[in-house]
Amino acid sequence: MDFGLVLQTDPPASDVVELMGRAERNGFRYGWTFDSAVLWQEPFVIHSRILEHTERLIVGPMVTNPGTRTWEVTASTFATLNDMYGNRTVCGIGRGDSALRVAGRTPNTLARLSDAIDAIRDLAEGREAVVDGSSVRIPWIKDGRLPVWMAAYGPKALALAGRKADGFILQLADPFLTEWMVHTVRTAASDAGRDPDAITVCVAAPAYIGDDLAHAREQCRWFGGMVGNHVADLVARYGEHSGAIPESLTSYIARREGYDYSHHGRAGNPDTAFVPDDIVDRFCLLGPAEAHIEKLRALRGLGVDQFAVYAMHDAKETTIDTYGTKVIPALTA
């Protein structure tokens, strides 16, 4: 199992770079950042510094979207980083949430996301692609490589990930839901004539090392609110009791009243009081290192290839270091 670290690009950027270097020294292979230009600093600028100050770390957004930047700009940005640092990027992409909503726009359709996945990958790898009806090719790209991993929750999005993406990003660590979603993605891949085992599965969720479970929950409760934004979209689209989505995913948002993106992804978010303790426990990894190891072994058994640690809490360094000394060795031995 591989491991990644996920950070927001809060200023100063030097702190993000330092934490990514710390993660690499502790055995993490991936460095991910949020991509929401209004809420945080521009990630791709910081990605360049992370790549410069690490040796092997693979870097990318978790996640970008097809609407914030034109597709040729996104592809050229990845290709430039790869040309400078040697094909060490990965494109995490989804329909878009905070990046678009805080700017007054709505998430992209799945049809647009599907076209963007193909176009961004093709352009970044030097091939011709159709962008807004015109054929485009970036002529200076040589030997570029860009895996595109798609974030998804709902049945149609999961099916698209199986048909098109090189990897699947699932932003929660509940084993029951992971099993259902991984199965859906791999079934769609098989139906499309692809090798389902060739799709990399990445689970991303908060991990908090410590014995004070109540404190850990309060530091990570924000995550249930963030996931709840996507679940609310799914309920609006499919209905709460349609059978299309497991009720174990949808039932907890019944008391959700709204969401203020100014607190997005932050401990103490007042809009996440509706998230019960059992959801925090199911969606996150909390407690001593042994508890993390046990849950990660279960996720690995369900086909998870990477666990990406959301470190938006007050124990970033402790969690990174303990993963390096105890958790990662136990999962990679």
pLDDT digits (tens, 9 = 90+) for 146-160: 999 999 999 999 999
Neighbour-count burial for 247-278, b at 16+ CB within 10 Å, e otherwise:
eebbebbeebeebebebbbbbebebbebbeee
pLDDT at 241 over 70: no
Give the span between the Cα atoms of 261 and 141, in whole angstroms: 37
pLDDT digits (tens, 9 = 90+) for 81-129: 999 999 999 999 999 888 888 888 888 999 999 999 999 999 999 999 9
**Token pair of 303, please?**
């086909």
The pLDDT value recorded for residue 234 is: 78
Write out the H or E segment, with its range, that includes residue 75.
Answer: helix 71-85
Give the span between the Cα atoms of 121 and 312, in whole angstroms: 30
What 3-state DSSP class applies to 191? Answer: helix
Lowest model confidence (mean pLDDT) among 59-63, 95-99, 253-257: 253-257
Give the predicted TM-score (pTM) of the model: 0.93
Contact 168, 154 (CB under 8 A): no
